[in-house]
Amino acid sequence: MKVAEIIRLFDAYAPFRYQESYDKSGLQVGDPNDTVTGALLSLDITEAVLDEAIEKGCNLIIAHHPVIFSGIKNLTGRNYVQRVVQKAIKHDINLLAVHTNLDNMRQGVNQRIAERLGLQDTRILAPLSGNLLKLCTYVPTAQAEHLRTALFAAGAGHIGQYSECSFSSTGSGTFRGSKDSKPFIGTAGGAQEKVQEDKIEVLVPVHLKNRVEQALVAAHPYEEVAFDWLQLQNHNPETGAGMTGSLPLPVPATEFLALLKKQMKAGMVRHTALTDKAVQKIAVCGGSGSFLLKDAIAAGADVFVTADFKYHQFFDAEGKILIADIGHFESEQFTVEIFDDILKKKNVTFAVLLSTLDTNPIKYF
């Protein structure tokens, strides 16, 4: 299997186009044409992780955090980033980062945290907007069902827990083909045709636009297919930052913190003052999630589980929510399991290994 196929596999699960503008997800070092000899999965790429990959015969490292984050103007081994890049090139190791594109997916980093905490009824906390399109097309009523089926198969018409969503209305279309045309109805160079057509409207996430358009053209009977793409301002509930979910029953805050510590293997939890109020609705955000505090409060969450809160930001809880900061590494350490699942589902022919190294740069005394 080529590196390019692995990139496509991850792109299908968490499209790279959904990464944040500041991010550098994707292949950072390497050659898409390389044949994968083995994949090492890690949260971070350090020199030690690179050595582990070399030792274990893996020429692909898939990590959550990109090793190159800001511009590199020279490669002289002056810092660990440069040394990692140089060594990866020397040893033909491919470095693939799957970062905020995975943070922004319903089935991503936060879903994994929610599962570990046993949260139910999960929803994206701050959905992204602007990545949904509406496709409108016109087809003879007799062929409408066939076309709808083809569009659904290509991924159109999916909303939350619902699939095969569409709206159709009936009207009349007209056309007149030239003598060089190949009309589905009527004759080339003949009189104007008036046909009963269905207008079909379906939602399409932007990453599936090309695939759905190809399916449309392939399944539509007309030589020239009439269709419009409209960009929507709607939120896409499948993409965005953070997640909320509920514990099956309300529990005392201390009980939840104990569960959190255990399930997320956290050495400690930094938190705001406890109250007597039981907690049930939990907001989570793997990594640095303090920017979502207002959203978590607005969503009515009792607790916000995340990392990297600064001293003054704890004050912003204002007694409305319990902030539980478990540490950046701790909150995202299970992300490699998602990578593992993606590769295992595909029955890849090379070895897939989870790094045995603890890359957390923060230690607790």
Ranges of beta strands (E only) in 206-267 are 227-231, 235-251
Rounded to a whole number of angstroms, the minimum distance from the CB of residue 342 to Zn ion is 18
Nearer to Zn ion, 205 or 327 (CB): 327
**What does residue 289 show for φ and ψ, rounded to 5 degrees?**
-110, 10
Nearer to Zn ion, 23 or 295 (CB): 23
Examine residue 245 and tell whether it contacts Zn ion (CB under 5 A): no
Rounded to a whole number of angstroms, the minimum distance from the CB of residue 287 to Zn ion is 3
Question: Binding residue for Zn ion (CB under 5 A) from 30, 287, 289, 327?
Answer: 287
- Tell me the residue length of the chain: 365
Nearer to Zn ion, 114 or 200 (CB): 114
Rounded to a whole number of angstroms, the minimum distance from the CB of residue 276 to Zn ion is 34
Contact 282, 113 (CB under 8 A): no
Mask for 164-193, x = binds Zn ion (CB under 5 A): ------------------------------
Rounded to a whole number of angstroms, the minimum distance from the CB of residue 286 to Zn ion is 7
Rounded to a whole number of angstroms, the minimum distance from the CB of residue 94 to Zn ion is 21
| Cα dihedral value 128, 131, 136, 139, nearest 10 | -120
* Cα(295)–Cα(320) distance, integer angstroms: 12
Q: Which residue is nearest to Zn ion (CB)?
A: 287
* Cα(306)–Cα(290) distance, integer angstroms: 7
Tokens at 10, concatenated: 């991850």
362 exposure class (CB count in 10 Å sphere: 0-12, 13-18, 19+): exposed
- Window 329-348: residues binding Zn ion (CB under 5 A): 332
* Cα(144)–Cα(197) distance, integer angstroms: 8
Nearer to Zn ion, 281 or 328 (CB): 328
Rounded to a whole number of angstroms, the minimum distance from the CB of residue 358 to Zn ion is 15
Rounded to a whole number of angstroms, the minimum distance from the CB of residue 320 to Zn ion is 26
Binding-site size for Zn ion (CB under 5 A) equals 2
* Cα(90)–Cα(232) distance, integer angstroms: 46
Nearer to Zn ion, 137 or 306 (CB): 306
Nearer to Zn ion, 30 or 287 (CB): 287
How far CA 114 is from CA of 23, 52, 244, in Å, comes to 24, 30, 8
Binding window for Zn ion (CB under 5 A); candidates: 6-14, 70-78, 172-180, 327-335: 327-335
- The contact set with Zn ion (CB under 5 A) reads 287, 332
